[in-house]
Amino acid sequence: DTEVTQTPKHLVMGMTNKKSLKCEQHMGHRAMYWYKQKAKKPPELMFVYSYEKLSINESVPSRFSPECPNSSLLNLHLHALQPEDSALYLCASSQEGVFWTGELSTNEKLFFGSGTQLSVL
Amino acid sequence: AQTVTQSQPEMSVQEAETVTLSCTYDTSENNYYLFWYKQPPSRQMILVIRQEAYKQQNATENRFSVNFQKAAKSFSLKISDSQLGDTAMYFCALDGGSQGNLIFGKGTKLSVKP
């Protein structure tokens, strides 16, 4: 199994709604990532979990709340989003994320999911 | 600051022909990794090829090869015998190591025409 599975594939929500995006991998990877991708733009890193601990938060607004219940699952909880948050949200995983020095390296292969296309009305 | 520049927003190629996508980058790191990712209409980001900066030999993966010029900080992707399934957005990316993040270029949209 070399897949990263994301659900749902599409999500439409109002600004007052609470929703969650889910990501799952069974490759034994210890690092998982959330990226945000606007149309015709490259992905932008949001969060990195390494060994189930939040390693990187790229100054993401608190209306986005990540959660890593175990090494195979990664959630992104959404609350009070704005229309400008509409984007493709990509999950990725890699075998190792953080070196013992505390540095994060993504020089290993990143496996991406197919994303959740989010529309905020 | 580390940057990745893709100067070709869109390109097209006839099926079975060869096309080269350009990428230049800037980094102060001595050791780093460079990647080409493909994002087809299915939206999944797929790693096409990876190059380690300390390796002089250009990486190849079947029909995909790179021309890595370290001094010029250039990392172009050559696709040989283009196939319709190669139609996608292609992103060049740099892993600067200590910065702990993949830095993506803006992408090149490649269309393979029958």
Which residue in A5, A110, A39 sits closest to B37, CA to CA?
Answer: A110
Amino acid at A79: H
State whether A88 and B43 contact (CB < 8 Å). Answer: yes
Contact A13, A81 (CB under 8 A): yes
pLDDT at A100: 46
pLDDT at B53: 87
Question: Is residue B62 packed enough to be buried (19+ CB in 10 Å), middle (13-18) or exposed (0-12)?
Answer: exposed
pLDDT at A96 exceeding the cut of 80: no
Q: Is B42 in CB contact (< 8 Å) with chain A?
A: yes
Structure tokens at B20: 């080269």
In the structure, what pLDDT confidence band is assigned to residue A104 with cuts at 50, 70 and 90? low
End-to-end CA distance of chain A: 36
How far is A64 from A69, CA to CA, in rounded Å? 16
Q: pLDDT tens-digit profile of A56-93?
A: 888 899 999 999 999 899 999 999 999 999 999 999 99
Contact B24, B90 (CB under 8 A): no
Structure tokens at B84: 């319709």
Residues of A in contact with B50 (CB under 8 A): 109
DSSP state at residue A41: S
Distances from the Cα of B9 to the Cα of A59, A103, B63, angstroms: 29, 33, 22
